[in-house]
Amino acid sequence: MHELCRKWSVKLVTGKRKNVHNEGRKERRKGYSRLKNELKRTTEKTKNEYLDSIRDEIVEFQRTQRFDLVYMKKQKLVWK
């Protein structure tokens, strides 16, 4: 009887340890997801601001009929 109780208590303790370990893993995953989303939002915002500024320059070049500069700016924009 004593041996049976001991096995049961060991299973209970290891089960609790597994739950604690999984909870920690979930928290780390949430933190990672939060950081990843924040980084994605920030980079997307910065990229859009950059592209808007380039677009404004190109529109200004077109307005002043500087098509050579429009072409040069477009060539720099091509992603490699």
Angle 34-37-41 from CA coordinates, rounded to 5°: 140
The first and second tokens of residue 43, run together, are 């980079």
Instruction: Enumerate the domain spans of the chain.
Output: 2-77
DSSP symbols for the chain: -HHHHHHHHHHHHHHHHHHHHHHHHHHHHHHHHHHHHHHHHHHHHHHHHHHHHHHHHHHHHHHTT-HHHHHHHHHHHS--
Mean pLDDT of 60-66: 91
11-49 pLDDT, tens digit each: 555 555 566 566 777 788 888 888 999 999 999 999 999
With beta carbons less than 8 A apart as the criterion, state whether 54 and 70 touch. Answer: no
